[in-house]
Structure 1
């Protein structure tokens, strides 16, 4: 039997502080009348917040398991607060929601002002109305890989900027120094990739998942590592549709009545770096003439779909195949006769 949630606590997190708002499900008060308080974003602040929450629970006679927490995704700030809350009071089952979803929901209140306390109050309403799932924190190893992937990405971007500067260089002394910087950045990138490889290889289950993903055409070592570090375990999605929607590669239809008939586009929700990675992997996959992705791309192009539309569909198929092979535990195989990937999962 699931526990009846009778109150939601919305938390707006920043670097130094966080604002918490307490909303009972039975309450119909105006958003500005919801109790809210500011706390330091550290261990002392978390203890003060839990004491404040306990007093509110006592005043409203809410049972211990009757309160949940919801906060907006703010990178390290929200995940660190999540860890502290789970350590002190795991029954709060904190949820971390998409920032865009939180912003759209907040707009529905038509507030003239924007501040941390109002954001926390709006989040509490979001929790009551949507009942988001508890945040599933990645393993420490996967979190470490994720940080290294981000570091490598930033170094690659920096190297690209130095290369552009090298092209514009007019003096040989300047060019020589820029080349040294590029060589240094390249060495750091290679060292980071080696560390990612070591971390993946030292964990058996993670290494097995990584190898399964690499069996897919167009998916190399770094692509598989990026997908695992950003998306985590794709098996947690109950359906392929949920997986594609989370990745932001599902189609988004826009029509209203008889006058509005806009083209269906990719939703582009979620992590943009993951979509960029899927895009590059899909480009590589359609170059393989003996793959499901090339056959799908050619079929859509022959049906008058643009190259962009066809590639978007391949990106969606790519994430679905990734989820399928992780669920089955079998590497990717393609049958020309059936024109389907094996194994297949819905």
Structure 2
């Protein structure tokens, strides 16, 4: 087990890295550029103060496109880093009754959190998985633009603005072509990488999971084998049940937690609706829940969670979904 003597918190922003080195109860702060040169300078600064890869635990928040390049540079240099959900840091700050919210204070907070909680180390996904996520993000952005322009076209049509309608329609036509071309690129990217192709084929064997959904699952969840079990995957997505029961007065209804990857959770909603009707295993499961009086939306949440379990099952087993295989343990206590 690695012996950690130094803990290093990194608050990441677009242009700079506010850092805090915690050692023997004392914190030293330093600001670096968020660039390749800045990453190198940061690690050299650590070594100048006695920190080494074997004795240092680095920690930063998941901040989208800005945090991953920093984490990659750290791992490639041989250091250990954790990427933490910002909600955990916020909760830790509330527990400390933190009053100040500055970049320097956040870096120190990350160092204290890392020292107290010892979050697991981050393992970067292979390059082809990261590239797939980039393609999928781009496709989703174009689809969002297409929906926005469709709404504008409808508004201009109501107001009778013909010239604007033509301009918007021209953009819609371009977006449609780009979306179709990008979908083909994503399929080609998956087909060119055996690991991605194998997992995509397994995912598409599940009734309700399309090519688009399979690509999103691979892009957002990465290699699901990294999760210890199916429940861990469901928790990552935010599909685990959240109960509100306390004493004799608080009896709130159980809902899905939604503390997880919202894009992946959104990606499983329509497949959940389809699987509710056409996946024999999930249809039986959903019908049984419905007979207990569970609300329709809660039933769909349960189906989405069970769909996450099936996704984990087919990929970790390496076997396609079997319609003749009826899973045991589809009990109500599995949660919604």
Q: Which of 310, 314, 320 is the aligned partner of 1:331?
A: 320
Partner of 1:43: 36
Unaligned ranges ≥5, structure 1: 28-32
Q: CA deviation at 1:63?
A: 6.2
Unaligned ranges ≥5, structure 2: 329-333
Q: Which of 108, 133, 139 is the aligned partner of 1:146?
A: 133
Partner of 1:96: 83
1:168 paired with 2:167, answer no
Q: Which stretch of the first structure deviates more once superposed, 242-251 or 165-174?
A: 165-174
1:306 paired with 2:295, answer yes
Q: Which stretch of the first structure deviates more once superposed, 170-179 or 185-194?
A: 170-179
Matched ranges for 1:61-76 at <5 A: 65-76=54-65
The 1-side partners of 2:53 and 2:174 are apart by 55
Runs of 4+ in 1 over 4 A off after TM superposition: none
Normalising by structure 1, report the TM-score.
0.90
The 2-side partners of 1:292 and 1:256 are apart by 34
The 1-side partners of 2:164 and 2:52 are apart by 69
Partner of 1:30: none
User: Contact 2:46/2:52 (CA < 8 Å) preserved in 1?
Assistant: no
The 2-side partners of 1:76 and 1:166 are apart by 32
Matched ranges for 1:286-297 at <5 A: 286-288=276-278, 291-297=280-286
Partner of 2:214: 224
Q: CA deviation at 1:334?
A: 2.0
The 1-side partners of 2:134 and 2:52 are apart by 39
Partner of 1:14: 13
Partner of 1:3: 2
Which secondary structure state, in structure 1, belongs to the residue aligned with residue 179 of structure 2?
helix
1:161-202: CA deviation from partner (whole Å, max 9, x where unpaired): 111122222133332332222111100000100100110000
The 1-side partners of 2:178 and 2:233 are apart by 34
The 2-side partners of 1:255 and 1:6 are apart by 41
User: Contact 1:17/1:41 (CA < 8 Å) preserved in 2?
Assistant: yes
The 2-side partners of 1:129 and 1:51 are apart by 25
Partner of 1:114: 101
The 1-side partners of 2:53 and 2:133 are apart by 35
1:209 paired with 2:199, answer yes
Which secondary structure state, in structure 2, belongs to the residue aligned with residue 286 of structure 1?
helix
User: Contact 1:334/1:340 (CA < 8 Å) preserved in 2?
Assistant: no
Q: CA deviation at 1:250?
A: 0.3
Which secondary structure state, in structure 1, belongs to the residue aligned with residue 97 of structure 2?
coil
Q: CA deviation at 1:118?
A: 0.8
1:234-253: CA deviation from partner (whole Å, max 9, x where unpaired): 11111222111111100012
1:95–1:64 Cα change, 3 Å: closer
User: Contact 1:106/1:119 (CA < 8 Å) preserved in 2?
Assistant: no
Q: CA deviation at 1:308?
A: 1.0
Q: CA deviation at 1:306?
A: 0.5
Which secondary structure state, in structure 2, belongs to the residue aligned with residue 298 of structure 1?
helix
Normalising by structure 2, report the TM-score.
0.92
User: Contact 1:95/1:133 (CA < 8 Å) preserved in 2?
Assistant: yes
Aligned residues: 326
